[in-house]
Structure 1
Amino acid sequence: MSNSHDWQDFPAPAKLNLFLHIVGRRSDGYHLLQSVFQLIDLADTISLRINEDGAIQHLNPLPGVPAESDLTVRAARLLQKETGCSKGVDIRVEKRLPMGGGVGGGSSDAATVMLALNRLWQLNMPRSRLMELGLSLGADVPFFIFGESAFVEGIGEIMTPVATPDVDFVVLHPQVHVSTPQIFSDPDLTRNTPPIKVPHLSSATTQNDLEYVACKNHPEIRENITWLSQYANARMTGSGSCVFASFSSPNEANRVIYDLPKNMTGYVARSLSKHPLHEFAEF
């Protein structure tokens, strides 16, 4: 590695929910879910520069997001507080992942900061502890620290690694911002999908239980799903707004993007079997 006081770049990849079932609800109101989280190579870039004075600064915060509340800053401060590390870091984020798209952008940025600083600050924290800390920042953060495709259960904290096929995805981003709390509180939400077991994933009939409510509130999502469904089985990821379909080759996926109407936004992404920073923490 170069001099640790130079800027260094680290990827923060997106995830897709290959399906998302709501299988029940806890007494505290949290929904119980089952999903397969799939990493893809569409990513933000996190640039970090270590300093010796302990200051943590975000040098290009998003408009309207105070640096103090930015997940990358909170992730760095959390690690610093937990370990007593005297070093600091300057942070820059190059955003490519859509905000409020259901692809985990902010959570992935936070996880990449934690994984990268675990190495750059020489903290050597085990992955399991980083995942515990990450959970206090957001429900999806532990998955990105876990760092491989997983069957996810509970409220998102129980993960079992699963092998998923290498495929190319077309990901479309309807230009709407979906309120996750609003979807989960909607009376029309399905909350009793029968649970499935890991070995039976391939034979299970799956869907995204949040899709109906999201499309009801945001017709643009339905419009994107309908258009993409001409080419392959399309569905929404997370609580939206992004929708996706898988293809067996980059050429197929690129042909679909070539046909994309002018009023739609889309990307081609490849599945990842492991997070690029997976080796930055040990179990």
Structure 2
Amino acid sequence: MHALPQDITIHCPAKLNLFLHITAQRNDGYHELETLFQFIDLCDDLHISATTDGRIDLLTPLQDVSHEDNLVYRAAMLLMPLRKDAQQGAQISLHKRIPMGGGLGGGSSNAASTLIGLNQLWGLGLDRRQLADLGIQLGADVPVFIFGQAAFARGVGEQLVAVEPAPAWYLVVHPQVHVSTASVFQHPDLPRNSAPITTELSEWASHRNDCQSLVASLYPPVAKAIDWLVEYAPTRMTGTGACVFGCFDSQAAAQKALAAMPSAFSGFVAQGLNTSPAWQGL
């Protein structure tokens, strides 16, 4: 029997929704979605060290986020009852690079990596499907980060099929506003009746983000970011925003646009990834 590792570092990638359709709202309030996920190479770093005190210690708490609302802590607590030894614990630290509240999935990625890492450190032996079933309790985006491949998603985001979007460079622009995902999905003007895709998945640019028009109308800086970026490249909002992205053929072209970005925005250039770095080396 192999000895369990004592510590692990996992790269937690951001994601883009290359398109996002809302096909229905269920009786329980959740929305049925169709979306295309692709990872990008902007990553947070999650470091976990095994301990023998039976506790979960967060060494890098997030400002204005309580332990009970921290997705890393909540992910760890989901695995606590599955430990083979009640003395198994962990110290967890997180180096954040992914902007919070921008629709880039940073919190979900951190949660998925916590499940992946503790599964390894504690020797739980859960497979990806079992981890994803736990992850969906934390958020609709968590399963794709456990799945680890760019994916076409249905349901609330848990029905995943691996896909290979074309290689691309993205300029991701943050309009410097925070968009509440819950408020977008609760808004009466949100479209909820897109026809399900019944043909073979075509080029993502031929689809849309059903949240984009509503968010742009509610948050003028988002609209301004889209209007600026679309002059340089095909542009779309990711998730419920606030970040928007332009798709470029080369890093140089994306960097050139970044250099011209208005100072009211922040932004970065990233490469699309069809395989998550979170599983590398595990």
Report the TM range for the smaller structure's normalisation: over 0.9
Which residue is equivalent to 2:60?
Answer: 60
- 129-138 or 22-31: which moved more? 22-31
Equivalent in the alignment of 1:31: 31
Quote the offset at 1:183 in angstroms.
1.2
What is the CA distance between 1:204 and its match in structure 2?
A: 7.7
Q: Residue 160 of structure 1 corresponds to which residue in structure 2?
A: 161
Between the two proteins, the alignment pairs up a number of residues equal to 278
SS in structure 1 at match of 2:222: helix
Structure 2 residue 242 is matched with structure 1 residue 248: no
SS at match of 1:90: strand
- Matches of 1:203 and 1:276, distance apart in 2: 23
CA distance in 2: counterparts of 1:280 and 1:54, whole angstroms: 26
- 2:153 alignment partner, SS class: strand
Match of 1:134 in 2: 135
1:21 partner SS? strand
d(CA) in 1 for partners of 2:250, 2:54: 47
Q: C-alpha distance in 2, partners of 1:203/1:229?
A: 16
Pairing of 1:169-208 with structure 2 (within 5 A): 169-197=170-198, 199-202=200-203, 205-208=206-209
Q: Is 1:21 the counterpart of 2:37 in the alignment?
A: no
Q: Report the secondary structure of 1:277's partner residue.
A: helix
State the alpha-carbon separation in 2 of the partners of residues 101 and 176 from structure 1: 8
Alignment of 1:1-150 (within 5 A): 4-5=5-6, 8-85=8-85, 86-150=87-151
Q: In the aligned structure 2, how far is the partner of 1:36 from the partner of 1:96?
A: 23
Report the TM-score, using the length of structure 1 for normalisation. Answer: 0.93
The aligned amino acid for 1:67 is H
TM-score (norm 2): 0.93
After superposition, give the CA deviation of every residue in 1:90-120 in whole Å (9 maximum; x if it has no partner).
1111111111111111110010111122222
RMSD: 1.8
CA contact (8 A) 2:149 2:162 kept: yes
* Secondary structure, aligned partner of 2:206: coil
Q: Give structure 1 stretches of 5+ with no counterpart.
A: none
Unaligned runs of at least 5 residues, structure 2:
none
Identity across matched positions, percent: 44
